[in-house]
Amino acid sequence: MKKITIFLFLFTSILVNAQSFTLKGTVVGENNETLPGATILVKETNQGTSTDFDGKFNIKLSKGIFTIQVSFIGYKTVNQKVSITENLEINVSLKPNETLLDEVLVSAVRVNADIPVTFSNLSKKEIAKRNLGQDIPVLMNYLPNVVSSSDAGAGVGYTYMNVRGSNSERINVTINGIPYNDAESQGTFWVNLGDFASSTQSLQLQRGVGTSTNGSGAFGASLNILTDAVSEEAFGEISNSFGSFNTRKHTVKFSTGKLNEHFEIAGRLSNIYSDGYVDRAFADLKSYFLQGTYTDENTLIKAITFGGKERTYQSWFGLDATQLEEDRKQNPYTYDNEVDDYGQDHYQLHWNEKWTEQWSTNLGLNYTKGAGFFEQFKEEEDASDFNNLIVDGSDVIVRRWLDNDFYVVNFNTNYKTEKLNLITGISYSNYKGDHFGEVIWGEDLAANTNIRDRYYFSDATKNDFSIFAKANFEINEKLSGYLDLQGRFVSYQTKGLTSDRVNIDVDESFNFFNPKFGFTYVINEENRLYASFAVANKEPNRNDFENGVSTPETLNDLELGWRLKNENIKLNSNIYYMNYKNQLVLTGSVDDVGAPIRATSGSSYRLGLEIDADIRISDKFSIKPNVAFSTNKNRDFFIEENGIAKSLGNTNLSYSPDVVMGNVFQYNFKENLQISLLSKYVGEQFLNNINDTSSKLDSYFISDFNVVYELKTKKIFKSIVFTGLINNIFNDEYVANAVDYGGGYIYYYPQATTNFLIGVTLRF
């Protein structure tokens, strides 16, 4: 009997100790607002989850004592001990961390799950996994409905990104809320931001019109970049990476940490070099980033300067079909200094002040200086094309210069209560730019001609003023509303000659009203629906004016979405309908400096379905698939044949694939070892707008393999991180971009076959 009693006691003890219990909790901020998306980590078991839309979480644990780590962007991380002997419910309150700037510098342009806008976030941790020298568009390639490419084929130098079929001239980019798009071309030149990923804290890509933002209007997407947050602790970091095509990146970073609890100085120096996949298409990118910060309980002042110098050999002409077949790496340019040489420096000052528990303001100032040239060798030219500085039939070398200054003032106010978040703001920018060309060598110069005499000149001024008010407000416990009203007022003047010595005399003003509204409905703790409608208007760019287009374009964007979030699955799905009036569509050709040429299409639309998910299969394995299906059409498209307008009916919009898919398989062998397989499929796309089946890019499917291993050390270095990336592991000979000049003249930009990058980061 005694043995039976002992056996029953031991058996009962095993059952009790083996039993699992549920730990439930709610995570709230300083005003008792719930924090959806907060990260929960059980340190002893490495189990993890995140809070749902109501800031709640639950996790299964066995009997014992555990450390629960709770973290959320913009708040200080909390470690809380819990003793589990039965089901338990806790509340965790997080305090704001003034050293993280998400709620400060980008609150006016970013959104969260409470706002009916379609978006994706990319954190510093996710960026770092593949940050081995390739530009930001390439690092974003696996986000939903994103297609990236590069002229040199290796992802370094001149790189591009399309979202929902819209190119960089239609993607609004801000850095800490300051407009980055070039004021005249409206494009984004990532080549001037070498290694900027190393100074990026996070980025948010909003697809469609999105929320009101500063700068040129978003007609396909907006990208909001937040630079490095303040570090509480001092650190130093040395990163080096090497890879195919003689690609290498060298980065040095540092931070003083918080000095006297208020001040921090941090910075970065970088150099990236690559020979490029295409012959001679090298890129030499030097860049820097420096910031000084003051913080106290209610004040944050941050001064930032960043910029760099780029020198790239040009490969924007592409290859015709025969050249592509013969040698896809060849470059038709042979002059040894056919280079783009440009420098750009940015100076930003941000001051955020919290006046009361509800009221705060943010002031942002910016000055950008840019100057540089494109050098080109030309054979047997007409003297009239160069202001008669040369003799007819002479060879000539020219430099075409840009010299510009860009000033920005942003001011926002934020009033926030438990049921209302109201943001108002104004933004003003002034751009002044000179365009001119110099003859720096001539086989036979005309009489009285000196080297560096100019053969054309034009100046330009652009003023852009916007005012907006946006509010997210609770209607009842289930339903919230969103209203966003923006007025934007643009004036643009330019006078002089283009590089073709054609008069460009523009004096235009545009007044735009851009309303947006929507609703979010909470079904339960895991599910919510949203609907929004937005209007955007956009002025033509400089190239459009040169090509005789002066009509603004209008976009009406309807978005319907469903968001699901629980312990194991995050799912976002949405249907969009983007209806355009006078859309400036890509014709498929580019000008003689690689800028896209556009034409007015009249009426057109994009209708699509986007789905992306983050599925946690186990504690070690997760998958992150995304897919976009769309139809993209010009309505009743006309072309001119022999001076007569001919209707082609509905035609496909150029550069708009009907299918774009991506996926990431991620496996964590241990806490410090992670491998990922990333895949991307892009469907076929037309290169013009006339349904010409001979002018198409074939579909392609590529996969990359990524590995990250962190070695914790006790001497000299805090950690050593080894990173490896194999791009295009199946060696697909694909083309991600091309231009169509008409008449069968199509030129392709081949992308690299299998290539690799490896790197090591020393942190101390």
Q: 272: domain CATH number?
A: 2.40.170.20
DSSP codes, 227-266: EPPPPSS-EEEEEEEEEGGGEEEEEEEEE---BTTTEEEE
Q: What is the pLDDT of residue 3?
A: 45
Domain boundary (54, 78, 93) is at: 93
Beta bridge partners, 585, equal 599
HEC states along 311-327?
EEECCCCCECHHHHHHC
Closest by Cα among 538, 543, 534 to 488: 538
Region for 96 from its dihedrals, namely left if φ exceeds 0, alpha if ψ lies in -120 to 50, beta otherwise: beta
Instruction: Note down the domain range covering 608.
Output: 225-441+448-763
Closest by Cα among 653, 639, 539, 560 to 605: 653
730 DSSP assignment: T
90, 70 Cβ separation under 8 angstroms: no
719-727 and 700-712: which strand pairing? antiparallel
* Distance from C-alpha of 325 to C-alpha of 605, rounded to nearest angstrom: 35
What are the DSSP E strand ranges found in 314-452? 339-354, 359-381, 394-416, 420-442
235, 561 Cβ separation under 8 angstroms: no
333, 376 Cβ separation under 8 angstroms: no
732 DSSP assignment: -
* Distance from C-alpha of 142 to C-alpha of 137, rounded to nearest angstrom: 10
CATH number at residue 41: 2.60.40.10
Q: Both tokens of residue 623? A: 């998958």
CB-based contacts of 675, cutoff 8 Å, min separation 6: 666, 667, 669, 705, 706, 707, 708
Q: Output the CA torsion sign for 544, 548, 550, 553.
A: negative
Task: Find the helix or strand (DSSP H, E) in which 18 lies.
Answer: helix 2-18
Residue at 52 is within a domain? yes
654 with 506, same domain? Answer: yes
- The identity of residue 257, as a single letter, is G
In this prediction, the residues of the chain whose per-residue pLDDT falls under 50 are: 1-17, 98-102, 588
Domain boundary (93, 115, 140) is at: 93
327 with 468, same domain? Answer: yes
Number of structural domains found in the chain: 2
87 with 236, same domain? Answer: no
* Distance from C-alpha of 601 to C-alpha of 587, rounded to nearest angstrom: 10
Residue at 157 is within a domain? no
Give the C-alpha distances (Å, rounded to integers) separating 614 from 88, 143, 421, 665, 702.
28, 12, 28, 10, 20
Residue at 137 is within a domain? no
550 with 408, same domain? Answer: yes
Q: What is the pLDDT of residue 597?
A: 63
154, 274 Cβ separation under 8 angstroms: yes
Residue at 135 is within a domain? no
pTM of the model: 0.87
In degrees, to the nearest 5, what angle opens at C-alpha 387 toward C-alphas 386 and 390? 60
Residue at 427 is within a domain? yes
Q: How many CB atoms lie within 10 A of CB 46?
A: 12
- For residue 4, give the 3-state DSSP assignment: helix
Residue at 154 is within a domain? no
Domain boundary (93, 110, 145) is at: 93
User: Measured in Å, how far apart are the chain's first and last C-alpha atoms?
Assistant: 64
- For residue 405, give the 3-state DSSP assignment: strand
Residue at 208 is within a domain? no
755-763 and 719-727: which strand pairing? antiparallel
Closest by Cα among 586, 619, 620 to 601: 586
Residue at 142 is within a domain? no
